[in-house]
Chain A
Amino acid sequence: MTDILELLDAAGLTGRGGAAFSTAVKVRAAREEGAAVIVNACDGEIGAAKDGYVVEHHLAELVHGAELVASSRGRKVRYAAHRGSATASTLRRAGLDVLETPARYVSSEETALISLASGGLARPMTKRKPFVYGGRDSDGRAVRPTVVLNAETVWRVAQVATHGPAWFRSIGTREEPGPRLVTVTGAVQHPGVLDTEAGTPIADLLDAAAADSRAEHLVIGGLGGVLAPVAAARALAWSTAELAQFGGSVGPGIIDVLDPHRCPVAVVDSYLAFAAGESAGQCGPCMFGVPALSAAWADLLDHRPTPARVEIVRARAGLLPNRGACRFPDGVARFTASALQTLRPHLNAHRDGRCPSERTSGVRSRA
């Protein structure tokens, strides 16, 4: 049998958790370092359900993929899932070693899982170098080499091993080869996970889930993604190259169709209020910046969204990127920037004292 590393190289598989990093590079380092393996099945992003889908429907292949990734030295595979989730109990029933994490946004992040697995708290750690080479936590304690792979990625590893790289490359686009899962949720009649590929028209994904035809906005990629107009999105294909038009990417594969009856400014407010409560209390931009941004956005909802108030939101969002241990503040900043861009007409209407969303016009509500 050809070595799995060559197969992954040839297939061009990239991480399906959002960062789209080369799986071959990661697995090679993991093998060389004898790294412990954590399969991330947390579905940590808002609206995500695909990790649960993989565990539910493709558990045998998932386990096979994880065995292929684990080196002979560090044959320790753990499956991370949110405490109390259906995914966690399915994994446990299968007799697997489950790493139960608090059902929180930042606790589902790669380095937070590594911290938890090494006896610390499920909070992100500064990556001075990738933890696949080992490292130290913020208290200076040694952390053994550990690699974290998204559940879908590990499932795809098994598929590449079984069907070969040529099959893998025959699906998707040249830049983003292979099958990939997309969760479609929100104002749709059939919410769920679609096994699709890059290049598929977004209109097809929305139609497959029977999205509400009156919906005007959708969120692609959750809190770390972007808010975009449905009309413009329908004309695009599901690929990072095309989603770049909104500043987005295929990311963790989530389309959340927003309820047309709910004011999108209020929806963004509830997203940001959630983000403010998710801080791990470690880095400045997360501890203070994200709550400050959330407060500035709440002002857009509670008062007239004057250009000065909009400018405060933009300025605070601009202070977040590249300063935290993890990329949580960066994602929130990206999401906010896209919301400001997409909702400009809606905010202008608010400024004139009306809300284009039908029922809850101007009424403040928090989800």
Chain B
Amino acid sequence: MNQLLWYVSRATGLVSLVLLTTVLVLGAVTSGRRAPHGERATVVMGLHRWLSLGMVVFLGVHVGTAVAETYVSIDAISAVIPFTSSYSTLWVGLGTLAVDLIIAVVVTSWLRLRIPERAWRAVHLTSYALWPIALVHGFAMGTASEPLLRAVTVACGLVGIGTLAWRANTRHADAARRSDVLTQEWT
């Protein structure tokens, strides 16, 4: 039973990382130049939202099984508060931190119509930090002994870094027009 929990925890962790990377890519392409238009935009945004919720399910199982199994001691507190685990404090702590950020992003997106747009945006931007945190956590902990799993993590890293590099070097057409207009006389 304990062994099963251990495998489930590793598997769901890896699936969570793949889904998180997919959600990151889908989110990044909805802003920036060549953003999808029309029906395609609806599909991309729908996938971004529903895959992120799907990831939360896998993540919940990942955290739950990690706490439940007893090979290593990760208690319920260290599943919530970062860097409190006696086992592998740093790497487990990064995972906890990523989970906390994901909870914040999901909750603010859920309440998006009820909270200021700026608050939603500020929290959502932390996704750019939580993805590398989760990646390092996954790379350092789960996959070190298994070439195939490691390859998946590395692939996630390469895809994500490529997406972030593209996003950093692109600007939405709206933003260009807006800043043009701002150079006119407005005061």
Q: Give A residues with C-beta under 8 Å from B.
A: 102, 104, 107, 116, 121-123, 139-140, 279-282, 287-288
* In contact, A140 and B116 (Cβ under 8 angstroms): yes
* In contact, A116 and B180 (Cβ under 8 angstroms): no
Q: Main secondary structure on chain B at its contact with chain A? A: helix
Distance in angstroms from A323 CB to nearest chain B CB is 15
* In contact, B177 and A116 (Cβ under 8 angstroms): no
In the complex, what residues of B have CB within 8 A of residue A116's CB? 187
* In contact, B186 and A107 (Cβ under 8 angstroms): yes
8 Å CB contacts to A: which residues of B149-187? 174, 177-178, 180-182, 185-187
* In contact, B182 and A281 (Cβ under 8 angstroms): yes
Give Cα A281–Cα B186 distance, bound, in whole angstroms: 11
Interface size on B, residues (CB 8 A): 11
Give Cα A122–Cα B180 distance, bound, in whole angstroms: 16
* In contact, A281 and B118 (Cβ under 8 angstroms): no
* In contact, B178 and A287 (Cβ under 8 angstroms): yes
Q: Main secondary structure on chain A at its contact with chain B? A: loop
Distance in angstroms from B38 CB to nearest chain A CB is 14
* In contact, B187 and A102 (Cβ under 8 angstroms): yes
In the complex, what residues of B have CB within 8 A of residue A107's CB? 186
Give Cα A104–Cα B180 distance, bound, in whole angstroms: 16
* In contact, A123 and B186 (Cβ under 8 angstroms): yes
Give Cα A122–Cα B187 distance, bound, in whole angstroms: 6
In the complex, what residues of B have CB within 8 A of residue A140's CB? 116, 118
In this complex, what residue of B is CB-closest to A277?
B184
In this complex, what residue of A is CB-closest to B181?
A281
* In contact, B185 and A102 (Cβ under 8 angstroms): yes
* In contact, B181 and A280 (Cβ under 8 angstroms): yes
In this complex, what residue of A is CB-closest to B173?
A288
In the complex, what residues of A have CB within 8 A of residue B118's CB? 139-140
In the complex, what residues of A have CB within 8 A of residue B116's CB? 140
In the complex, what residues of B have CB within 8 A of residue A123's CB? 186
**10 cross-chain CB contacts under 8 A:** A102-B185, A107-B186, A121-B186, A122-B187, A139-B118, A140-B118, A281-B178, A281-B180, A287-B174, A287-B181
* In contact, A279 and B181 (Cβ under 8 angstroms): yes
In the complex, what residues of B have CB within 8 A of residue A279's CB? 181
Give Cα A139–Cα B118 distance, bound, in whole angstroms: 8
8 Å CB contacts to A: which residues of B11-62? none
Distance in angstroms from B179 CB to nearest chain A CB is 8
- Known contacts A140-B116, A140-B118; is-contact A281 B187 (Cβ 8 Å): no
* In contact, B181 and A121 (Cβ under 8 angstroms): no
Pairs A-B, 6 closest by C-beta atoms: A281-B181, A121-B186, A102-B185, A281-B178, A122-B186, A140-B118
